[in-house]
A and B are shown apart, each in its own frame.
Chain A
Amino acid sequence: MTAGRLVGRDVARVEDAALIRGRGRFVDDIAPPGALHAAFLRSPHAHARILRVDTAAARALPGVQAVLLADDLRPHLTDMRLVVALPSPSYRLELHRPILAAAEVAHVGEALAVVIADSRALAEDALALIEVDYDPLPAIADCDAALLPDAPLAHSGADSNLVAQMTVAYGDVDAAFAAAPHRFAETLHIHRGGSHSMECRGVVALHDATEDRLTVWSSTQTPHAAKRLLCDLLDMDESRLRVVTPDVGGGFGPKLVFYPEEVVVPLAARLLGRPVKWIEDRAEHFVATTQERDQSWRVEIATDAAGRILGLRGDLVHDHGAWTARGVNVPQGAVAAMPLAYMVPAFRMTIRAAVTNKVPVTPVRGAGQPQGVFAMERLLDRAAQGLGLDRAEIRRRNLVPADRMPYATPLKTRGGIAVTLDSGDYPRCQQMALDAIDWAGFPARQQAARLAGRHLGIGLANYVEGTGRGPFEQVSVRVEPSGRIVVASGAAAMGQSTATMLAQIVAEQLGADVADIRVITGDTAATPLGIGGSNSRQAVLAGSSAHVAALKVREKALAIAGTMLEVATEDLEIEAGAVRVKGAPGLCVTLAAIARAAAGQPGFMLPGGRGPGLAATEEVVIDAMTYANGTAAVEVAVDVETGGVTILRLVFAHDCGRALHPRIVDGQLMGGIAHGIGNALYEHMRFDEQAQPISTTLADYLLVTATEMPPVEILHLHSPTPLNPLGIKGVGEAGVIPIPAAVAAAVEDALAPFGARIRRVPLSPVDVVALVDPAAAGPR
């Protein structure tokens, strides 16, 4: 892949200069003078009626400025609920979550009051003084149980716990199964936990009473959506409200959701006439920030004798949590990911989303795709075992081959857009991974280890991921009369080097250095339109807009310089902050001078004939997603006494099209791989039968640390997509997607002498020990 002067190269990140000196500005670093601090009273019950709330003692505490309940907010809001569900015809229940619970709480952690005080500590003191009489109601914790006829209702007003149902289907599945010589079925339980960005959420709001203007800083991935909701809820016109995403200490999904705290804090600032700050602590994050969690899959695959897939069918029960905080996109994404890498002639999956009395479920890095891939890859392993085929060979026979690209599938995205695999060579990618991990030589390694009493296993998993979800991201590129280049985008940075990406693309065209570019992301005052960070989309969408805008500014600069220098534009080049005549570097005009000329003088013609200003704003619209792919291969050692799983090697071969910054691509993948290892072996958000969360510290909920990371080898294939001008595909989520499937396959392989069948993740040591049947192990 040809690299440009800057694009495609490992340039220094523009984010690092401030962050490495401790001069970043995260939401908790914003401290307007006179700010008050908010703390939220959260339900200790998974399900209860609120009978009485007495705030008198809390209000009387010195330093407390206000204690607000739902009724106190009602006169100031146009709606008491957050209506944020993505459109879908599948909903059976309307579950818009309340901004503050008034009559009933539906999960532990749901907020019902807010205290505003001189300090956070005082606000928390006051929380302890609020008296609430709850009438506990039966709670439902398990999504499968929630759909049984006599299950307790998660919401006392509802007639069932079925919040949504849909079927994704094409082809004549039942006929395919009826005629198929081989069928293999599985029941799988797949759990994912939270995102656990190291920075929790937070909101700071500043109200200017003179002009009734609100500035809201939120650790959000979607500032423009937040602004729209705030304008609606507070009934303010857009010109009076600004939402800014400051430095964000990791997002990974849940920060794309709009939360009750994001409206309560600005409203409190407006009511009290003082800035108000709320910073979520980790204890709150476990019960108030959205998570993924549980899915049960009953699935079946039909194949011919050679292992070619004839059909896939099944149903999926999805834990939706207590409210619709985003939609049904997680199970939808899971099902969509299932067949994507393979040629599947007939397909039918039914999704049933079940309400539970737990934290609402919304996407976490991967957004259902790890689950869909897990289901598919487990079925392929079952089929390989049943047919006596090598697990890699059955995949090779079914992967969409390179000569079928672009490959139109009968699937549609959630927005009804056709799913067409645009580019790639999936079989070659798999082969790269197999070669790197010495798949062919593994049986000998495994046999030797077994003779020595060690249990080695190997597994692999393929994924194809829809990235770059449209429709657009706005980017403006402006050369100020000082010569400074300012790039502003609706993209929201949360650690993925978004500013560097934009600076690289723009500097490439304007003859500048990356460090010369000032990038503003996630500020609604700098960019009127925006979608924000999700779906591995920002390099694809914002990158494309930045590229086209920079090209326009470049052309205009050359045209104006041509007039100023009286030279044809073909004879000009742009370099080091100036436009110069090729071969005569002394003949030049700086970008600053061009920008000043383009700013105009009263009564004088603009040079270049291209209108005023040296700037361009672009919203490149790309509806179709571009599909990235990859293969993970994992070798493990399993200690059958302790249940400990050690990943000895992990190979990740992938294709994200052209790489804008190879080191950043690797960094995104490595972070995802670590997260995937967590999902495979460690991360478990546990609740008891009453839906009480019981893994609410980082000592109970285990995140991968440096010692759990295996040696990882990343291999690259570059198939540029034709769908955007840079040829790129998203890479922010890829790493996580195939890891649980590949690790499960490897552990199952290691435990083959015990006849183990892995049907769930995460796999704790206890789970692994339970899979080992000593009677089948024979003498050791």
Chain B
Amino acid sequence: MSESRHIALHVNGERREAETPVRQHLADFLRGTLGLTGTHLGCEHGVCGACTVLVDGRAVRACLMLAVQAAGRAVTTIEGLAAADGTLHPLQQAFCDHHGLQCGFCTPGILATLVEYLAENPDPGAEDLRIALSGNICRCTGYDSIVAAALAAARALRGEAA
């Protein structure tokens, strides 16, 4: 029951090694073992999307992936989105500019989802973004401000004026 493994992985560009119980999911590993509490757990059954992180660039529900499955992979969490000098990622900046967050609990997962989506779809429409976001639940905003922020971030990422 308490069997564990030693794993090594990259988190936010840094190599990390740690012991993890084999039954521990990636979100608990990031939050508890590594102290990266920016990743949030909203349902632990894969519906709400709050715990979404990037694993090798793909948006993944960290409550549905075991920590041991992340061995050898590169994980990016909300703590790793800003530039090394602290400059916010265009998505982070756009969320602040457009009131894309209220309580901020779902935000880390939404940002991870959008980082992946915008990388593959640099010029989406509002309806595309709504579909892309349909696996992330936000109880505060009603989503309009999130879509507006994502559109602004997409423009910024394309090098256009926000």
* Chain A residues near B (Cβ < 8 Å): 12-13, 15-16, 19-26, 28-29, 31, 63, 121-122, 125, 195-200, 247-250, 252, 281-283, 494-497, 663-664, 666-667, 669-675, 697-699, 703, 705-707, 709, 712, 735
Q: Are A709 and B143 in contact (CB under 8 A)?
A: yes
Q: Are A705 and B133 in contact (CB under 8 A)?
A: yes
Q: Does any Cβ of A come within 8 Å of B156's Cβ?
A: no
A282 smallest CB distance to B (angstroms) = 4
What are the residues of chain A within 8 A of B39 when measuring CB–CB? 22
Q: Are A199 and B78 in contact (CB under 8 A)?
A: no
Known: A20-B95, A667-B142. 15 other contacts (CB 8 A): A16-B104, A20-B88, A21-B82, A23-B38, A29-B37, A125-B1, A198-B105, A199-B103, A247-B103, A250-B140, A494-B103, A671-B140, A672-B142, A697-B43, A712-B144
Instruction: Give me the 6 closest cross-chain CB pairs, A-B, nearest first.
Output: A22-B38, A495-B103, A249-B105, A670-B142, A19-B104, A22-B78
What are the residues of chain B within 8 A of A698 when measuring CB–CB? 43, 45, 47-48, 137
Q: Chain A: interface secondary structure?
A: loop
Q: Are A706 and B143 in contact (CB under 8 A)?
A: yes
CA–CA, A200 and B105, complex, Å = 10
What are the residues of chain A within 8 A of B23 when measuring CB–CB? 121
- Of residues 129 to 162 in B, which have CB atoms within 8 Å of A's CB atoms? 129-131, 133-147
Q: Does any Cβ of A come within 8 Å of B60's Cβ?
A: no
A99 smallest CB distance to B (angstroms) = 26
Q: Are A250 and B38 in contact (CB under 8 A)?
A: no
CA–CA, A703 and B50, complex, Å = 14
Q: Are B82 and A706 in contact (CB under 8 A)?
A: no
**Given A250-B103, A495-B104, A198–B144 Cβ distance below 8 Å?**
no
What are the residues of chain A within 8 A of B52 when measuring CB–CB? none
What are the residues of chain B within 8 A of A666 when measuring CB–CB? 99, 145
What are the residues of chain B within 8 A of A667 when measuring CB–CB? 99, 102, 140-142, 145
Q: Are B107 and A20 in contact (CB under 8 A)?
A: yes
**Given A198-B139, A674-B142, A19–B101 Cβ distance below 8 Å?**
yes
What are the residues of chain B within 8 A of A712 when measuring CB–CB? 142, 144
**Given A125-B1, A706-B143, A198–B102 Cβ distance below 8 Å?**
no
B48 smallest CB distance to A (angstroms) = 6
Q: Pick the residue among B2, B92, B99, B144 that contacts A664 (CB under 8 A).
A: B99
CA–CA, A619 and B158, complex, Å = 51
**Given A15-B104, A496-B102, A667-B145, A198–B138 Cβ distance below 8 Å?**
yes
CA–CA, A495 and B24, complex, Å = 30
Q: Pick the residue among B44, B50, B131, B142 that contacts A198 (CB under 8 A).
A: B50
What are the residues of chain B within 8 A of A282 when measuring CB–CB? 42-45, 48
What are the residues of chain A within 8 A of B124 when measuring CB–CB? none
What are the residues of chain B within 8 A of A709 when measuring CB–CB? 130, 142-144
What are the residues of chain B within 8 A of A705 when measuring CB–CB? 133-137, 143
Q: List 29 A-B contacts (CB under 8 A).
A: A21-B82, A22-B36, A22-B77, A28-B31, A29-B31, A121-B21, A198-B40, A198-B103, A198-B139, A249-B40, A250-B103, A250-B139, A252-B139, A282-B43, A282-B48, A495-B105, A664-B99, A667-B99, A671-B141, A672-B142, A697-B43, A697-B45, A698-B45, A706-B130, A706-B134, A706-B146, A709-B143, A712-B142, A712-B144
**Given A698-B43, A712-B142, A16–B101 Cβ distance below 8 Å?**
yes
A662 smallest CB distance to B (angstroms) = 10
Residue of B with least CB distance to A199? B105
- Count A-B contacts at CB 8 Å: 174
Q: Are A21 and B38 in contact (CB under 8 A)?
A: yes
CA–CA, A247 and B140, complex, Å = 14
Q: Pick the residue among A16, A496, A707 that contacts B96 (CB under 8 A).
A: A16
Q: Are A495 and B96 in contact (CB under 8 A)?
A: no
Q: Are B36 and A13 in contact (CB under 8 A)?
A: no
CA–CA, A475 and B144, complex, Å = 33
What are the residues of chain A within 8 A of B31 when measuring CB–CB? 28-29
Q: Does any Cβ of A come within 8 Å of B41's Cβ?
A: yes
What are the residues of chain B within 8 A of A24 when measuring CB–CB? 38, 104
What are the residues of chain A within 8 A of B78 when measuring CB–CB? 21-22
CA–CA, A566 and B79, complex, Å = 52
- Of residues 23 to 81 in B, which have CB atoms within 8 Å of A's CB atoms? 23-24, 31-32, 35-45, 47-48, 50, 77-79, 81
A9 smallest CB distance to B (angstroms) = 13
CA–CA, A196 and B105, complex, Å = 12
Q: Are A13 and B96 in contact (CB under 8 A)?
A: yes
What are the residues of chain B within 8 A of A13 when measuring CB–CB? 96, 99
**Given A247-B104, A703-B137, A712-B142, A21–B42 Cβ distance below 8 Å?**
no
Residue of B with least CB distance to A118? B2
CA–CA, A674 and B77, complex, Å = 28
What are the residues of chain A within 8 A of B147 when measuring CB–CB? 706
CA–CA, A650 and B121, complex, Å = 29
Residue of B with least CB distance to A669? B142
Q: Are B40 and A199 in contact (CB under 8 A)?
A: yes
CA–CA, A671 and B99, complex, Å = 12
What are the residues of chain A within 8 A of B101 when measuring CB–CB? 16, 19-20
Q: Does any Cβ of A come within 8 Å of B11's Cβ?
A: no
What are the residues of chain A within 8 A of B79 when measuring CB–CB? 21-23
Q: Are A707 and B102 in contact (CB under 8 A)?
A: no
A121 smallest CB distance to B (angstroms) = 7
CA–CA, A200 and B130, complex, Å = 25
What are the residues of chain A within 8 A of B143 when measuring CB–CB? 670, 674, 705-706, 709
CA–CA, A709 and B42, complex, Å = 21
Q: Are B144 and A670 in contact (CB under 8 A)?
A: yes
What are the residues of chain A within 8 A of B43 when measuring CB–CB? 282, 697-698
**Given A26-B40, A198-B48, A705-B134, A671–B107 Cβ distance below 8 Å?**
no
What are the residues of chain A within 8 A of B92 when measuring CB–CB? 20-21
* Centre residue among B1, B2, B146 by max chain A CB count within 10 A: B2
Q: Pick the residue among A250, A496, A706 that contacts B105 (CB under 8 A).
A: A250
* Centre residue among A16, A197, A670 by max chain B CB count within 10 A: A16
CA–CA, A200 and B45, complex, Å = 14
CA–CA, A51 and B135, complex, Å = 44
What are the residues of chain B within 8 A of A198 when measuring CB–CB? 40, 42, 48, 50, 103, 105-106, 137-140
B135 smallest CB distance to A (angstroms) = 8
Residue of B with least CB distance to A19? B104
Residue of A with least CB distance to B50? A198
CA–CA, A25 and B95, complex, Å = 19
CA–CA, A664 and B105, complex, Å = 17
A79 smallest CB distance to B (angstroms) = 33
B162 smallest CB distance to A (angstroms) = 15
* Centre residue among B45, B138, B142, B146 by max chain A CB count within 10 A: B142
What are the residues of chain B within 8 A of A497 when measuring CB–CB? 102
CA–CA, A639 and B79, complex, Å = 45
Q: Are B45 and A699 in contact (CB under 8 A)?
A: yes
Residue of A with least CB distance to B37? A29
CA–CA, A26 and B37, complex, Å = 9
CA–CA, A87 and B32, complex, Å = 43
* Centre residue among B81, B102, B141, B144 by max chain A CB count within 10 A: B102
CA–CA, A494 and B140, complex, Å = 10
B33 smallest CB distance to A (angstroms) = 11
Residue of B with least CB distance to A701? B47
CA–CA, A63 and B1, complex, Å = 12
What are the residues of chain A within 8 A of B21 when measuring CB–CB? 121
CA–CA, A22 and B40, complex, Å = 9
Residue of A with least CB distance to B135? A705
CA–CA, A22 and B35, complex, Å = 11
Residue of A with least CB distance to B97? A12
CA–CA, A576 and B14, complex, Å = 41
CA–CA, A43 and B110, complex, Å = 35
Q: Are A675 and B144 in contact (CB under 8 A)?
A: no
What are the residues of chain A within 8 A of B133 when measuring CB–CB? 705-707
CA–CA, A19 and B81, complex, Å = 13
**Given A12-B96, A21-B38, A667-B140, A495–B102 Cβ distance below 8 Å?**
yes
What are the residues of chain B within 8 A of A283 when measuring CB–CB? 44-45
B64 smallest CB distance to A (angstroms) = 13
Residue of B with least CB distance to A195? B139
